[in-house]
Structure 1
Amino acid sequence: MTPIYATLIGYLFGNFLTAMVVGKIFLKINPTQYGSHNPGTANMGAVFGKKWGILTCLGDLLKSLIALFIVYFAFPGHINIAFAGLGLILGHCFPFWNHFQGGKGVAVAAQITVFYDWKAGFATLLVALVLTAIMQNLTIPPLVFMLLFSVYEFLQNQEAGIIFMAITLIMVFKFWKDIVDFFTGHGKKVDILYSIKKKLGIKSK
């Protein structure tokens, strides 16, 4: 029963969509009616500005961290962290109160992986960051990061690996339209290196 409780705790916390809270309290809008209609960090940042995107990301990281710590102390056993992570992704991507229409889970997945295995988590996130800079895309790198992490953890513990692979598949499902757009040449490009240079006042040659 412990894995079920861990998953339920994760799901309940996952249902807290920071984008909806930020949108309704600070911006007086429903973020699902703008941009990509996705209540997540990327859409909030792209449509309403980086400040609101960052605030949304921090909120999603915080809710994930709280849920993971609760499970960590309430249900000893490392595998329960993975189950809580699965619940978090399910809650974030398919919140029951919002007709099961939620975010894509990138920030949540990042928090889960680092909490479960910080070395592998940071290593795969670094790969995703490099890929994002090279590909100028926000769709493929998160999926590659999650896939690499899942494969690595499968080699350490098959049960955990399967759970993380399930999380990966959920993210693939949520990203499906973006994946199709990417491979058909319609994907949106995001040049993070240009943004960093612009912020630092470095002119591109």
Structure 2
Amino acid sequence: MQTALALVAAYLLGSVPFAMLSSTLFGLADPRSYGSGNPGATNVLRSGNKKAALLTLIGDALKGTLAVIVAQQAGMSDSQIALVALAVFLGHLYPVFLKFKGGKGVATAAGVLLALDPLLGLATVGTWLLVAYVSRYSSLAALCAAAAAPLYSALMHGASTQTVIVGVLGMALIGKHWQNIQRLLAGQETKIGSKKKG
């Protein structure tokens, strides 16, 4: 029962749409109405409001971190913590508050990884930052980080429960970026900092 309640709570926390909240706070349009249509920090940045984008990024990351830390402090097992991490992540991807159409999960996954293992989280975030800086494509950076995270975890922890859950997160992230992959291959992907059209 404790595990079931923890999973529901983590899912609901993950469902909190910070992109929508920050856009409302700063008087911006619904982020689903422009750019990629994704309710996430990168798309909010296309509104031109960096503060709203930063608030979205921090909020989405912190909900992932908070869920894992609470599970850890509650004395849950590694397997239970892994399930909580997955639940908060899935909450962001498929939020009940947005009719199950959420963000790509990059910031929330980063928050989860930083809580599970700070070194792993930093290595993954560092990969994202490096690729994003060089390419200016948030989606490409996310794909590279998603692919690298399970490898980093395997090197650090071997075939552990944590590595399995990180692998699941990575595959889910890549799956959510399928349309971005298509646009990247077609040379039509929007770069970081590009404002909304119209």
- Normalised by the size of structure 2, how large is the TM-score? 0.85
Q: How much has 1:3 moved relative to structure 2?
A: 5.4
- Normalised by the size of structure 1, how large is the TM-score? 0.82
Q: Note the aligned Cα RMSD (angstroms).
A: 2.2
Runs (5+) with no aligned partner, structure 1 = 192-205
Instruction: Provide Cα deviations, 1:161-180, integer angstroms capped at 9, x if missing partner.
Output: 22222211221222111111
Q: How much has 1:5 moved relative to structure 2?
A: 4.5
Say how many residue pairs are matched. 191
Contact 1:92 1:103 in 2 (8 A): yes
Q: Structure 2 vs 1, CA of residues 118 and 52 (structure 1 numbering), >3 Å: closer, same or farther?
A: same
Structure ranking higher on relative contact order (CA contacts 8 Å, 6+ apart):
2
User: Residues of 2 paired with 1:157 and 1:70: CA distance?
Assistant: 24
Contact 2:78 2:161 in 1 (8 A): no
Match of 1:63 in 2: 63
User: Residues of 1 paired with 2:4 and 2:75: CA distance?
Assistant: 11
Contact 1:2 1:75 in 2 (8 A): no
Instruction: Provide Cα deviations, 1:73-101, integer angstroms capped at 9, x if missing partner.
Output: 22433343322221111100101221110
Matches within 5 A, 1:92-111: 92-111=92-111
Select the structure of larger CA radius of gyration: 1
Bigger Cα displacement from structure 2, 116-125 vs 76-85: 76-85
Contact 1:9 1:71 in 2 (8 A): no
Q: How much has 1:152 moved relative to structure 2?
A: 3.1
Instruction: Provide Cα deviations, 1:41-85, integer angstroms capped at 9, x if missing partner.
Output: 011111241111001112212322322222112243334332222
Match of 1:188 in 2: 190
Matches within 5 A, 1:20-31: 20-27=20-27, 29-31=29-31
Identical pairs, percent: 29
Q: Which amino acid aligns with 1:87?
A: A
